[in-house]
Amino acid sequence: MRTVPLDRLPGARTGEGDEPDARDLLDLLPDDAPLAWVRRGDGIVGWGEAVRIETGGPDRFAEADAAWRRIVEHAVVRDEVRLPGTGPVAFGSFAFDDESAAGGVLVVPRVVVGRRAGQAWLTTLTPAGDLGAPPDPGAVHAADEAPAPGAVSQADGALTAEQWGLAVSDAVERIRRGDVDKVVLARDVTVTAEEPVDARWVARRLADRYAATWTFVVDGLVGATPELLVRSSKGLVTSRVLAGTIRRTGNDEADMARAGILAHSSKDLEEHEYAVASVAAALMPFCSSTNVPDVPFVLPLPNVLHLASDVTGVLGPDEPRPSSLELAAALHPSAAVCGTPTAAARDVIRAVEHMDRDRYAGPVGWLGADGDGEWGIGLRSGRVSADDPRRVRIFAGCGVVAASEPEAELAESEAKLEPMRWALGIRTH
């Protein structure tokens, strides 16, 4: 495996004042098992499946992590760049629930192209004992345009909107009688297209419109998450927590007023506090120090406003350090996607959602040879069906507390479904 620097990405914009664009990377993806993790101009993309690690059940993270360590131990690596994302890389996505048949996967691509802070690189994987000539940068070029899926239609998933509202009422009742403090309920919608859905086409549209999020493609899961579960780099750990949401109006003055309402909403602040506390508690055993903000900030996205907090930490001195995947496993599921207490909230989810979340709200991201990497929460996402690539299940979830109202939660879920609906070609507001 060898990594060499690239002077520039093929097809990248070079005009004066141009900012790096995620499309510079996404436009390189062919249809050969495309993989992506990009935000703004930085990130990595890969293609050509060299190794695939599939796991399942409650030990899916540990089994995948151990398998990756074995692969790295036997790899011969020449890395001339030495930045996060260079050298051997595995892309991964994992099911939300231990009992889900979706399990988990790590995919090692044959070719990786990345860019970070203006430096681009190319990594190629070759058979053992055959280092051969260095990778040829001239072999990397923009791929053919991904085809559009044609006309699309949508239908209710496991529950209708009315049935899902009743599920919210059920959850609120359980909270008020003390069974659980907070629970996050998700709903799904099935989208059917005229032609097979190409995840590259969806990802490019998401990256264009939601540049501040992390756009990902892994094993048929495609989305643009605003929530970073964990980044681990050189001993420093970061987690961006989102909980508490209000829909944008499209009017700047009105949205500013809504941001003020969100920042002072007792219901949303309570929901956010549970989520931040769960992340801080999960990181504490691994870190010698952590920093938890006293108050959240308001994160604006094109469709919604979120309460957000960046929790940071320094890993302890013990060796070996935990990998980013091990940290992601410890953090999953946070109160932002499950609830509080975790076990009780998961029981409520299983009782009232009436669906398998698949890999929605599970960790998705990448892992390097040294264990560092970035893992987001698979939100604002959909999974292209392996059986029928014209079908995509898209998802949205909302945090429910004692003060929640079914109508408001349904409206919030509609706002969170908007990115994937738009990316698939469904007209939105």
Per-residue model confidence as pLDDT tens digits over 358-399: 999 999 999 999 999 999 999 999 999 999 999 999 999 999
Contacts of 319 (CB under 8 A, 6+ apart): none
Q: Which two tokens stand for residue 337?
A: 């996607």
Asked if 182 is an active-site residue, the reply is: yes
The set of residues, in sequence order, having a beta carbon less than 8 Å from that of 296 and lying 6+ positions away, is: 244, 263, 269, 272, 276, 307, 308, 309
Give me the mean pLDDT over the 164-181 stretch.
96
Residue 175 pLDDT more than 80?
yes
Q: Assess contact for 212 and 228: CB atoms under 8 A.
A: no
Question: Averaged over 251-269, what is the pLDDT?
Answer: 93
Say if residue 176's pLDDT is above 60. Answer: yes
- The single residue of 16, 19, 182, 326 carrying the catalytic annotation is 182
- Give the C-alpha distances (Å, rounded to integers) separating 231 from 37, 121, 210, 361: 13, 20, 20, 17
**pLDDT at 240 exceeding the cut of 90:** yes
At 144 the pLDDT is: 84
Alpha-carbon gap, residue 149 to 151, rounded angstroms: 7
State yes or no: pLDDT of 172 exceeds 60: yes
Stated length of the chain: 429
Write down the catalytic residue from 227, 271, 326, 409.
227
8 — pLDDT class (breaks 50, 70, 90): confident
Question: What domains sit in the chain, N to C, each tagged with a CATH number?
Answer: 2-423 (3.60.120.10)
pLDDT at 30: 94
Say yes or no to pLDDT of 277 above 80. Answer: yes
pLDDT in tens, 280-323: 999 999 999 999 999 999 999 998 999 999 999 999 998 889 99
- Residue 131 pLDDT grade (very low, low, confident, very high; cuts 50, 70, 90): low
Cis peptide bond upstream of 333, omega within 30: yes
* pLDDT of amino acid 148: 96
